Structure formats: C-alpha cells, structure tokens
Amino acid sequence: MDLLQAADAEYQQWDQLLNQIYTSLMQLLPTDKAQQLKQEEINWINEKENKANAIYNQQNNGSLNRLEAMNSRISSTKERCYALIQQYM
C-alpha cells in the first residue's frame, strides 16, 4: 500500500466516524438546532474541500500535492469530529 492509499484509508475512517457523529446529533437535537448544524456542516464541507483543492492545485509538486491535499482532508475531518463532540455531546 502506498502513502496515498494509506492516507485515503485513514480519511475514509475519519469521514465514517464524522458521519456517525453527525447522524446521531441530527437525531438528538431539536429541529432548529439540527437545521443550524446542517448549515454549519455544509459550510464546513465547502471550506474543507476548498482548502484541500488549493493545496492540490499548487504548482510544481505533482503527486506530493495529492498527498498533502489528502492529509489536509484528514486533519480537517479529525478536527471536525472532536469539535462536534466537544460542542454538542
């Protein structure tokens, strides 16, 4: 398994955990708070992807950019998991 595959596997694990946390919160929160969380999550996803895409599109680093972009997604997703738990649980 190369570094990019390993990073992708790690990202998938964090993303799955985030989805579990989000789903649980959406079931537990009152409707108004759930709608607020939904909008926050949409905004967060856009920010995460914009940041990763900016890294990926940098010049002169080729395949290293792919790995750095994936690491950015991992870091952002991991931080989001902890933030949601801290804020809502």
**Interhelix angle 63-88/31-56, nearest 10 degrees:** 160
| pLDDT tens sequence for the chain (89 residues) | 699 999 999 999 999 999 999 999 999 999 999 999 999 999 999 999 999 999 999 877 777 899 999 999 999 999 999 999 999 98
Per the CB < 8 A criterion, the answer to whether 81 and 17 are in contact is yes
Query: What's residue 60's pLDDT?
Result: 74
The 8 Å CB, 24+ separation contacts for 46-55 are 47/76, 48/72, 48/73, 48/76, 48/77, 48/80, 49/73, 51/76, 52/76
Per-domain boundaries in the chain: 41-89
At residue 1, the pLDDT reads: 63
Note the pTM of the prediction, 2 decimals. Answer: 0.91
